[in-house]
Amino acid sequence: MSMRCRNCGDTLQEFLRVVDDGEQAYVAEHKPRHTRLGSYYRCGREGCRRYQRLGDHNDGGSFPEPDE
C-alpha cells in the first residue's frame, strides 16, 4: 500500500503492515491509546525506520536503530 512517508521527504512509499513482535511491542508502548496495532504500517524503503497509522501519516514515529 502506498502512503506518504515523512522520513522519506513526504514521498509516496510502499508501506507494509507491522507484523514483527518486537515492532508491535514498540508501537504499543509508544502509542498506548491506539490498541488496534493492525492499523500501523512501516515504510518498506530500505533503511527507513518509519511507522505510521493507516489514514494518518502524522500519527507515527520511527523505530530505533537495530542493535549491532
Average pLDDT over residues 32-36: 68
Output the pTM of the full model: 0.86
Q: What is the pLDDT of residue 57?
A: 87
What grid cell was written down for 10? 513526504
What is the overall mean pLDDT for the chain?
90
- Tell me the C-alpha to C-alpha distance, in Å, between residue 15 and each of 52, 67, 68: 9, 23, 25
- pLDDT of residue 33 exceeding 80, the answer is no
- pLDDT of residue 14 exceeding 90, the answer is yes
| Domain boundary assignment for the chain | 2-62
Q: What is the pLDDT of residue 67?
A: 77
- pLDDT of residue 68 exceeding 80, the answer is no
Burial-class residue 12 by CB neighbours within 10 Å (0-12, 13-18, 19+).
exposed
